């Protein structure tokens, strides 16, 4: 993992003390709320529906066990004993007191964490594939470049007051688990024909009230040009992005209004000015950062050892979990393990202090002390020996973290919605819970196969509903919650925005509606080999619409 050097640590410590002074001045009245609000937002502190909310950055989703223990401790000491993992690989505390936040940030700084740039119109926490460094078929570890971008974008003076927030995601795999095409910049680490490493640049993706799939504006930007090219994109956006209307201020609007070709020309023009300058990424620096992400000391192990295979045969519950929650590791004899934060009827992404501490312990015991947060609101242990999987599974079961549903119908993304969020129009969490309860039968879930439901409680789309295989958007109609259903979205390499099915459903109807959609799929699929998304793409939404609305 990346470790702070003196510069990083001093910088973060100084920011904590600066914020401590700002909070003191706010509490004493020296600063008004209008003066203080932009300062607290720069430190990740919001005022939400019930209380303040602190959003802690987890750079590219990678956590050490020490950091996770600290997150647990903070949740117990300063909050209500739990935290919430978000779709941007952050952790949110829902109940911190303003007066405690300088102490919370000081505690985070002791484990090389902070809440900087988790809010505001700046470059936010760079997110990455949760399987970074361990995925089979990966071109290069995206965290190296995410860290380069983090250092470049932290307190970047030119990009601290952008027209609007700016989100970057990166993956090193063709199979996109980081939703890069719905980010302001999405990067794919690729190799060109000469075997050189570079980046595919996808620009102008985003969700919110105007969902757009990003456009590839350059299929290969060489490694040394990563920063100069990114800076060129940001410069064009900073100069030309709209500041008159916050709903039209994201780069996706600029790219659409300018046209991809002209936008690309402008970027290239800017790039020509700066590419030979100080932004050239030195190979030594890449190597220095790469060293932090060096693989742990893997043992030489045979793949699929007998003790693992025997347990798979002997214990169907273990086999179900292994089927849904494991992913192939690039090293023989190891597996990537996903911990579901979606117990049946639970709150997506929520985790208690004791669960966090227990996971930290399991990471130490089984995964070289490393944990990943996923944008789908689950956790991952990236390096587990296959022969340890059964013992790990038993431990996770005791913690209620072994629900074998990763990628299945109850592995739902949900934003905090009206239960917590000041912007929401409708609740998301209880809708996720009702759907999860309805599909509680795991055999049925496995029979349905891969199906991603994503729920947002308002048009800002923090729950990624536009790119759900089934997307659910909560709206308010004259004081009553309604839920609009979309079908056919995807956040992966085949990214697409879902299509609205028809009139919205009431809170008490939406679970039935989702079940109706799933049943239509089960009836009409061309066999278990055809996934839900494949069928929607084959048939369109018409058969679903007919089944849903004509029966009524």
Partner 1 sequence: MAKKDSAGPQVITANRLDDGVVVYFATDKDAVQWVEKIADASILIGDALNAALVRAEQTVAANEVVDVYPIPVDEAKHPQSRREAVRAAGPTIAYGAP
Among 3, 6, 7, 28, binds partner 1 (CB under 8 A): 28
Are the C-beta atoms of residues 448 and 409 closer than 8 Å to each other?
yes
Phi and psi (nearest 5°) for 528? Answer: -65, -15
Count of residues near partner 1 by CB under 8 A: 37
Shortest Å, Cβ 418 to partner 1 = 6
One of 27, 136, 174, 440 touching partner 1 (CB under 8 A):
27
Interaction of residue 98 with partner 1, rule CB under 8 A: yes
CA R_g for the chain: 23
Minimum CB distance to partner 1, residue 464 (Å): 20
Q: How far is the CB of 428 from partner 1 (least distance, A)?
A: 10
Complex with partner 1: residue 508 or 523, whichever CB lies closer:
508
Give the helix, strand, coil percentages of the chain, each rounded to 5: 45, 20, 40
Q: Taking CB under 8 A as the rule, does residue 430 contact partner 1?
A: yes
Using the contact rule CB under 8 A, the part of the chain among 133-141, 289-297, 426-434, 527-535 near partner 1 is: 426-434
End-to-end CA distance of the chain: 55
Residues 401-420 close enough to bind partner 1 by CB under 8 A? 418-420
For partner 1, the closer CB: 72 or 533: 72
How far apart (Å, rounded) are the C-alpha atoms in residues 341 and 280? 41
CB under 8 A: which stretch of 140-148, 201-209, 241-249, 479-487 binds partner 1? 479-487
The reply to whether 49 sits near partner 1 by the rule CB under 8 A is: yes
Comparison of 26 and 215: residue with beta carbon closer to partner 1: 26
DSSP-derived secondary structure for 259-286: -HHHHHHHHHHHHHHHTTSTTS--HHHH
Beta bridge partners of 475: 482
Q: Please say which residue, 48 or 539, places its beta carbon nearer to partner 1.
A: 48
The stretch near partner 1 (CB under 8 A) out of 25-33, 241-249, 361-369, 542-550 is: 25-33
- Taking each helix axis from N to C end, the angle separating 101-110 and 65-78, rounded to the nearest 10 degrees, works out to 160
Longest distance between any two alpha carbons in the chain, whole Å = 68
Residue located via tokens 């983090």 = 150
Binders of partner 1 among 331-370, rule CB under 8 A? 347, 350, 352-354
- The residue range among 20-28, 260-268, 318-326, 334-342 that interacts with partner 1, by the rule CB under 8 A, is 20-28
Question: Tokens at residue 143, please?
Answer: 């965290």
Least distance between partner 1 and beta carbon 353 (Å): 8
Determine, following the binding rule CB under 8 A, whether residue 80 of this chain makes contact with partner 1.
yes
CB 200 within 8 A of CB 225: no
Of 200, 181, 70, 63, whose CA–CA distance to 130 is shortest? 63
Structure token digits, residue 14 = 């100084």
Q: Write phi, then psi, for 445 (nearest 5 degrees).
A: -60, -45
Asked if 81 touches partner 1 (CB under 8 A), the answer is yes
3-state class (DSSP) for residue 542: helix
SS3 362: helix
Angle, CA of 308, 310 and 312, to the nearest 5°? 70
Q: How far is the CB of 430 from partner 1 (least distance, A)?
A: 6
Q: CB 419 → partner 1: shortest distance, Å?
A: 4
- Whether 308 and 388 have beta carbons less than 8 Å apart is answered as no
From candidates 8, 280, 364, 476, binder to partner 1 by CB under 8 A: 476
Question: Does position 267 bind partner 1 by CB under 8 A?
Answer: no
Interaction between residue 427 and partner 1 (CB under 8 A) = yes
* 240 is a site residue for partner 1 (CB under 8 A): no
**Binding residues for partner 1 (CB under 8 A):** 26-29, 33, 47-52, 80-82, 94-99, 347, 350, 352-354, 418-420, 424, 427, 429-430, 433, 476, 479-481
């Amino acid at each position: 993992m990346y470790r702070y050097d003196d510069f990083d640590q001093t910088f973060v410590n100084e920011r904590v003390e600066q914020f401590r002074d700002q909070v003191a001045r706010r509490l004493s009245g020296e600063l008004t709320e209008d003066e203080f609000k932009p300062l607290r937002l720069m430190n990740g502190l919001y005022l939400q529906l019930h209380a303040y909310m602190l959003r802690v950055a987890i750079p590219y989703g990678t956590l050490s066990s020490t950091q996770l223990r600290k997150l647990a401790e903070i949740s117990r000491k300063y909050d209500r004993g739990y935290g919430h993992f978000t779709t941007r690989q952050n952790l949110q505390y829902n109940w911190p007191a303003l007066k405690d936040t300088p102490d919370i940030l000081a505690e985070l700084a002791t484990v090389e964490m902070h809440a900087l740039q988790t809010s505001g119109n700046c470059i936010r926490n760079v997110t990455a594939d949760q399987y970074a460094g361990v995925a089979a078929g990966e071109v290069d570890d995206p965290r190296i470049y995410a860290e380069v971008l983090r250092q470049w974008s932290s307190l970047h003076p030119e990009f601290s007051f952008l027209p609007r927030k700016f989100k970057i995601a990166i993956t090193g795999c063709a199979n996109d688990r980081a939703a890069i095409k719905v980010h302001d910049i999405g990067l794919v680490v690729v190799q060109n024909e000469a075997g050189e490493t570079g980046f595919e640049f996808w620009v102008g993706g985003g969700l919110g009230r105007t969902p757009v799939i990003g456009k590839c504006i350059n299929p290969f930007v060489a490694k040394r040009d990563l920063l100069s090219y990114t800076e060129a994109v940001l410069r064009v956006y900073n100069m030309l992005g709209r500041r008159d209307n916050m709903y039209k201020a994201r780069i996706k609007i600029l790219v659409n209004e300018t046209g991809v070709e002209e936008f690309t020309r402008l970027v290239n023009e800017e790039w020509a000015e700066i590419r030979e300058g100080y932004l050239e990424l030195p190979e030594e620096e890449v190597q220095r950062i790469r060293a932090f992400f060096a693989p742990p000391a893997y043992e030489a192990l045979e793949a699929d050892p007998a003790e693992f295979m025997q347990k798979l045969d002997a214990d169907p519950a273990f086999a179900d979990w292994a089927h849904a929650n494991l992913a192939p590791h690039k090293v023989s004899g190891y597996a990537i393990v996903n911990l579901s934060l979606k117990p049946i009827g639970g709150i997506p992404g929520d985790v208690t202090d004791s669960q966090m501490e227990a996971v930290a312990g399991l990471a130490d015991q089984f995964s070289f002390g490393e944990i990943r947060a996923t944008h789908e609101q689950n956790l991952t242990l990236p390096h587990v020996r296959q022969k340890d999987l059964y013992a790990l599974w038993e431990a996770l079961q005791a913690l209620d973290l072994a629900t074998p549903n990763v990628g299945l119908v109850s592995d739902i993304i949900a934003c905090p919605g009206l239960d917590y969020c000041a912007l929401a129009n409708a609740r998301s969490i209880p809708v996720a819970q009702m759907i999860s309860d309805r599909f509680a039968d795991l055999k049925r879930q496995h029979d349905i196969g891969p199906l991603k439901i994503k729920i947002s409680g308002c048009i800002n789309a923090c729950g990624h509903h536009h790119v759900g295989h089934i997307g659910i958007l909560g709206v308010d109609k004259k004081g009553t919650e309604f839920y609009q259903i979309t079908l056919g979205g995807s956040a992966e390499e085949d990214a697409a925005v879902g299509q609205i099915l028809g009139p919205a459903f009431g809170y008490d109807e939406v679970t039935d509606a989702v079940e109706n959609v799933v049943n239509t799929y089960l009836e009409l699929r061309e066999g278990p080999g055809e996934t839900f998304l494949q069928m929607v793409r084959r048939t369109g939404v018409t058969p679903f619409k007919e089944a849903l609305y004509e029966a009524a």
